[in-house]
């Protein structure tokens, strides 16, 4: 039978009144299975998890999308769903700019996009926006019904 710990409360024996686990500046939380570390979280919140094969690790913060959006780019553009999207602008036929709620640390991040169009162009990136332009089969800018954009990198 597997062992388990059940508690109603974690008490900080140090005497202060905060709840949960309180780490000193250089402490970290380790989650171990069969004495092998599977998760590490340091006092800054940086979290690393062991990968599927057990030999590599992944930084949770680095692996997460920092902004994503799906929108309809025809007529009056409309957001279907989004995360960290501050604004959406239709700059003209087949030309869209997304503004972030929380900016990126620099403009060296990765942008993945998808369209129900023949081609797509990431026109411009800055710490606060990304501009994309889908194209039709003749290479002309085109309004499309499905536009998806995902951003990976460091937040400011």
Q: How high is the pLDDT of residue 9? A: 64
pLDDT at 111 over 90: yes
Q: Is 136 in contact with 54 (CB distance < 8 Å)? A: no
Distance (Å, whole) CA 111 – CA 86: 17
Among 46-50, 66-70, 87-91, 127-131, where is mean pLDDT lowest?
46-50
Q: How high is the pLDDT of residue 37? A: 84
Average pLDDT, stretch 43-47? 81
CA 72 to chain centre: 21
Q: How far is CA 97 from CA 77, 85, 94, 150, in A?
A: 11, 11, 10, 13
pLDDT at 28 over 60: yes
pLDDT at 17 over 70: no
Domains of the chain: which residue ranges? 1-63, 67-152
Map tokens 């989650």 to a residue: 31
Q: Judge if pTM exceeds 0.75.
A: no
């Amino acid at each position: 039978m597997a062992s388990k710990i059940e508690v109603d409360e974690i008490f900080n024996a140090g005497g202060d009144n905060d709840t949960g686990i309180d780490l000193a500046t250089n402490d970290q939380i380790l989650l171990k299975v069969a004495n092998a570390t599977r998760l590490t979280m340091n006092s800054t919140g940086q979290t690393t998890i062991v990968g599927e094969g057990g030999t590599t690790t992944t930084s949770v913060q680095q692996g997460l999308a920092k902004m994503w959006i799906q929108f309809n780019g025809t007529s009056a553009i409309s957001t279907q769903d989004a995360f960290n999207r501050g604004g959406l602008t239709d700059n003209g036929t087949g030309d869209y700019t997304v503004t972030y709620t929380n900016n990126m640390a620099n403009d060296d991040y990765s942008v993945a996009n998808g369209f129900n169009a023949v081609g797509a162009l990431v026109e411009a990136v800055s710490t606060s926006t990304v501009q994309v332009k889908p194209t039709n089969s003749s290479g002309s800018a085109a309004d499309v019904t499905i536009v998806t954009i995902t951003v990976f990198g460091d937040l400011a």
